[in-house]
Amino acid sequence: MLASALIMTSSVRDKLVVDATKELEELPAIQSDLDRSIVCVLRSNGADQAIPQAVATGFRTCAIWPYSALTWQNLVRPSDLARIGRPDILVDVASGLIRLCHVSRTRKAAAAAIPMISRYLSPLKALPGGQLRRHIREMEKPSDALLCAAAIAGDCARLRDLLLAGADASFFDSDGMTPLMHAAAGGHADAVRCLLDAGAPWNALSPSNLSAGDLAMENAHQEVFDILLNFAIQAELVLGTIARRGRGEGTASHEEYLTERVAFGEGRIMDAKSEAVMMAWEKPLMEAHARAICCSGDDCGRILNVGFGMGLVDEAIQRYKPLEHTIVEAHPDVYDRMIRAGWGEKENVKIVFGKWQDVLPQLGSFDGIFFDTFGEYYEDMREFHKHLYRLLKPGGIYSYFNGFCGSNAFFHVVYCQLVALELGGLGYSTQFIPLPVKECMSEDIWKGVKHKYWQLDTYNLPVCQASHDSE
């Protein structure tokens, strides 16, 4: 009889496994599939007797089972659970179905489970509000986990119902995934829109450092990627929430940096907090930047570089024999090293010591401009861009070190497009030249560096000029 199939071990303690049809030797395989969530397979055969017996033992249930058993006929009826006065078991069964969706990771399983979950939770609506809320809290907000299940299935109607009922759009499941991540990974465009409208964080990261946008990219869901990209750009225009995740993350402010000593080592400059100010692996990038800003006409003309660092871009600029080469540098240690290295003696070089914000009135106009400062953020570069109209000659080229969000591919794309959009508003068009950089770096180069400021395989070199010049 069914009672003989009850299995209670010390390892499951407050879990109940009921299986009237499977052989006992199959249970370990079922348990391993559930990632430590013990099965409660409630078969229709004899379930009426099983539930009261389970309740009498004081054991709570956890309902998850292999996908092959996922049919309504195989489940105990919710009316039976309501009749015996144990709403907590109703919530348990629904919670188990939710966890099944997470285990299966398939749209088919999630789509099959969601209607069942609703049928188990619907009897709870008859409870007084306080009791219902208590049971929901006890089961770790199953409505939040339901949101993930609905996102996996791309069930927009269910998403809206759950959100209206108070489900948390920023919920992280046991795998560190949000509903938006699940919807993006599955390519469910309407579900992604629904979750974004409900305040789901587009920039949340999984334990693998992936955002919803990254998951859309990885799974080639172009429509979802475009939705997330456009939303992210608009959000950053207003809030700028990830602007500080680029180069120099965690560093002191620019003012603090300028008062601290820097250390010049083999192939790098380090600040007092073990952050890399500049590194030798950037040399090919700096050569490409120099080529971009020095080739705007028949000759190199007048060139401006803001931020000397290791002098990599300035060495490359010199090879183009510019008519005049102006360098703005604000850090006293870097400036002293420039002077000792003979940069002040070069015939076509003009060194301006000070913060660019303070020395701009001294500067004229240029045929090519490169901007690469340390310890500043996007807001600072945005301020610099406001002065391009008088700094950059007609037909001139502007470029900058594009290190924003160098540890996340989607965030980096967001900032590429954001900068291009804002420069467009100032009358400048921007093109990005993809440069492979994976071969430039090895793990060894980051030894002793607190923040690995670049982790992507491709660097997008920006080339900007006045829109009417590029037509």
- Domain co-membership, 264 together with 217: no
Give the Cα separation of 466 and 471 in Å (integer): 9
The residues with which 368 forms a beta bridge, in sequence order, are: 303, 397
Give the Cα separation of 132 and 140 in Å (integer): 13
- Domain co-membership, 152 together with 272: no
Do residues 185 and 220 make contact, with C-beta atoms less than 8 angstroms apart?
no
Which amino acid belongs to residue 297?
G
**CB-facing half-sphere around the CA of 315: CA atoms within 13 A:** 14
* CATH number for position 77: 1.25.40.20
User: Which of 25, 17, 20, 23 has its CA nearest to residue 2?
Assistant: 20
Residuewise pLDDT in 10s, the chain (471 residues)? 222 222 222 232 233 233 322 322 333 333 333 222 223 333 333 334 444 443 333 333 333 333 333 333 344 455 554 554 555 555 555 555 555 544 444 455 555 555 655 555 555 555 555 554 454 444 445 567 788 888 988 999 989 988 888 889 999 988 899 999 999 999 999 999 999 999 999 999 999 999 999 999 999 999 999 999 999 999 888 776 555 444 444 444 567 778 788 889 888 988 888 888 999 999 999 999 999 999 865 578 999 999 999 999 999 999 999 999 999 999 999 999 999 999 999 999 999 999 999 999 999 999 999 999 987 888 899 999 999 999 999 999 999 999 999 999 999 999 999 999 999 999 999 999 999 998 877 778 888 888 888 999 999 999 999 987 655
Considering Cα of 70, then 71, then 74, then 76, what sign does the dihedral take? Answer: positive
Residue 287 lies in a domain: yes
- Domain co-membership, 174 together with 263: no
Model confidence, pTM: 0.70
The residues with which 435 forms a beta bridge, in sequence order, are: 459
* CATH number for position 318: 3.40.50.150
- Domain co-membership, 138 together with 261: no
- Domain co-membership, 180 together with 265: no
Question: How does DSSP assign 360-394, residue by residue?
Answer: GGG---EEEEEE--SS--HHHHHHHHTTHHHHEEE
- Domain co-membership, 221 together with 274: no
Residue 154 lies in a domain: yes
**CB-facing half-sphere around the CA of 286: CA atoms within 13 A:** 23
- Domain co-membership, 281 together with 391: yes
SS3 for 75-132 is CCCHHHHHHCCCHHHHHHHHHHHHHHHHHHCCHHHHHHHHHHHHHHHHHHHHCCHHHH
Do residues 333 and 263 make contact, with C-beta atoms less than 8 angstroms apart?
no
| Tokens read off for 187 | 């390519």
Residue 173 lies in a domain: yes
SS3 for 204-268 is CCCCCCCCHHHHHHHCCCHHHHHHHHHHHHHHHHHCCCCHHHCCCCCCCCHHHHHHCCCEEECCE
User: Which of 457, 399, 452 has its CA nearest to residue 428?
Assistant: 399
- Domain co-membership, 49 together with 195: yes
Residue 246 lies in a domain: no
Q: For residue 419, give the H/E element and its range.
A: helix 409-425
User: What range does the domain containing 63 cover?
Assistant: 2-232
pLDDT value of residue 199? 94
Distances (CA, A) of 390 to 185, 336, 393: 46, 30, 7
End-of-domain residue from the set 177, 202, 232:
232
pLDDT value of residue 130? 52
Angle between helix 378-385 and helix 409-425 axes, rounded to 10 deg: 20
Residue 245 lies in a domain: no
Instruction: Return the SS3 of 25.
Output: helix
- Domain co-membership, 273 together with 182: no
The residues with which 397 forms a beta bridge, in sequence order, are: 368
pLDDT value of residue 186? 94
Which amino acid belongs to residue 7?
I
Residue with token string 């060194």: 351
Distances (CA, A) of 389 to 111, 160, 352, 368: 56, 48, 20, 13
429: left (phi over 0), alpha (psi -120 to 50) or beta: beta
